[in-house]
Amino acid sequence: MDRIRIRGGNKLNGIIPISGAKNAALPLMIASLLTSDTLTLENVPHLADVEQLLRILGNHGVDVSVNGRRERQSESYSRTIHFTCRTVVDTTAPYELVSKMRASFWVIGPLLAREGRAHVSLPGGCAIGTRPVDLFLEGLQALGATMEIEGGYVKATAPKGGLVGGHYTFPKISVGATHVMMMAASLANGTTVIENAAREPEVVDLAKCLNAMGARISGAGTSTITIEGVTSLHGARHRVLPDRIETGTYAMAVAMTGGDVILEGTGAELLDNALDTLRLAGAEITETESGLRVVRNGNGIQPVDVVTEPFPGFPTDLQAQFMALMTRSSGVSHVTETIFENRFMHVQELARLGARISLSGQMARIEGVDRLKGAPVMATDLRASVSLVIAGLAAEGETMVSRVYHLDRGFERLEEKLNRCGAEVERVSD
């Protein structure tokens, strides 16, 4: 199993190209199940989660052809992928595949809309929380589907003439269930209105792609989304938006080590409130022609309290990284996690590097320390693992992060991107 060795203490200076967003690429890929034409996605990141979803889509009958060449204009290694699902060959998403990646449950929407039925394994819990699927089931029921749960599978069936437009108000905001409702309602008979919808940029990106495929979706990016059903969707070409979590992660890395880095190909609007938080913490962030410039030279790191919230609030997917930054602040800060109930596994690992963090329910209290010292640490989930890398970049001596397969799920060429800016990060294979 690979590990990552970090020699800490170097500032970051240079350019980091930002990849296509994992959390946009996954639902966009799933949207290919909605049409028998070809959906072409540009800027798809090369990540373990993307590879896993390619296998899952293959199982349903999606033909995939990948253009693996490096894009001309940038240093990005993201790819253009063509997806064609002439016919759905299997409406079952088996446990062996769904249990490896939660987002694969989302195939339930397109399968139900196109084929009138879907048999999808329940994803089960995961390291960051129980993550139920009740909102998906209720939402699809509002479109006329019937749901049975049997043997760990959801068996969903559409009415005889197909799904029907409906009205659904989410009792709690869910990104995944918003994606699924938009996909399913696009092929329903009549108009659907979803309220209290997720407003994440990835939801807007999916709506744009679906509209390019012939869907009629308005309001994505606000809490109320209206979808006028159409009888069929066609092929389209769509470019995956830049990864805001990767952007925020590298911005925090620069804030942590000090230095001056251009995050290329990304934009401030994707991060909204999180950039203001970083500014309060002492980073200078400006928009440039090519992306965002993040600088911290001279200033110390200021303590800032954050509470995770759905977009445009501070994202849960940056909580661990921000906590790593706060371990070196000049005072006491608090981080409150409101989205997932068990997303603090990085706390004990950060403590191994000398961080002073105490937990009380969903709130962490972080007392900044003058220095962190390298140590062996273990990655527990995707964002937790990159928080350890950020801490390791600022720690004295060597930090060895094990279980880096978590990192490979969501960060494209992490070592290369950091090393080109002066870090010393090395992958070690046992």
Catalytic residues: 126
Q: What is the b/e burial string over 14-25, where b = at least 16 CB atoms within 10 angstroms of the residue's CB?
A: ebbbbbbbbbbb
Task: Identify residues 219-248 at the interface with ligand EPZ (CB under 6 A).
Answer: none
- Token pair for residue 203? 């939801």
The backbone torsions φ and ψ at residue 189, rounded to the nearest 5 degrees and listed phi first, read -85, 115
Q: Could you say whether residue 119 binds ligand EPZ (CB under 6 A)?
A: no
| Residue (126 or 212) nearer to ligand EPZ, CB | 126
Distance CA 318, CA 173 (A): 18
| Residue (92 or 316) nearer to ligand EPZ, CB | 316
CB of 382 to ligand EPZ, least distance (A): 5
Nearest residue to ligand EPZ, by Cβ distance, number only? 176
Q: Could you say whether residue 144 binds ligand EPZ (CB under 6 A)?
A: no
Q: Could you say whether residue 176 binds ligand EPZ (CB under 6 A)?
A: yes
CB of 49 to ligand EPZ, least distance (A): 8
Per-residue x/- track, 56-95, ligand EPZ (CB under 6 A)? ----------------------------------------
Closest CA to 83 of 29, 44, 23: 29
Q: Could you say whether residue 47 binds ligand EPZ (CB under 6 A)?
A: no
Per-residue x/- track, 368-387, ligand EPZ (CB under 6 A)? --------------xx----
Q: Identify which range of 59-67, 149-157, 173-181, 271-279 contacts ligand EPZ by CB under 6 A.
A: 173-181
Q: Could you say whether residue 172 binds ligand EPZ (CB under 6 A)?
A: yes
Distance, first Cα to last Cα, the chain? 6
| Residue (112 or 262) nearer to ligand EPZ, CB | 112
Coil vs helix vs strand at 244: helix
The DSSP secondary structure of 41-90, one letter per residue, reads: EEEE---HHHHHHHHHHHHHT-EEEEE-SPPSSSS---EEEEEE-SS---
Cis peptide before 312 (omega within 30 of 0): yes
CA distances from 164 to 143, 186, 227, 230, 367 (A): 5, 10, 11, 11, 54
Q: Could you say whether residue 135 binds ligand EPZ (CB under 6 A)?
A: yes
| Residue (136 or 282) nearer to ligand EPZ, CB | 136
- Pairing label, strands 191-195, 225-228: antiparallel
CB of 130 to ligand EPZ, least distance (A): 6
Sign (positive or negative) of CA dihedral 368, 374, 378, 379: positive
Which helix or strand (DSSP H or E) is residue 218 part of?
strand 216-218
Q: Identify which range of 169-177, 249-257, 262-270, 420-428 contacts ligand EPZ by CB under 6 A.
A: 169-177
Residue ranges in contact with ligand EPZ by CB under 6 A:
23, 26, 102-103, 129, 131-136, 172, 174-177, 316-317, 339-340, 382-383, 410
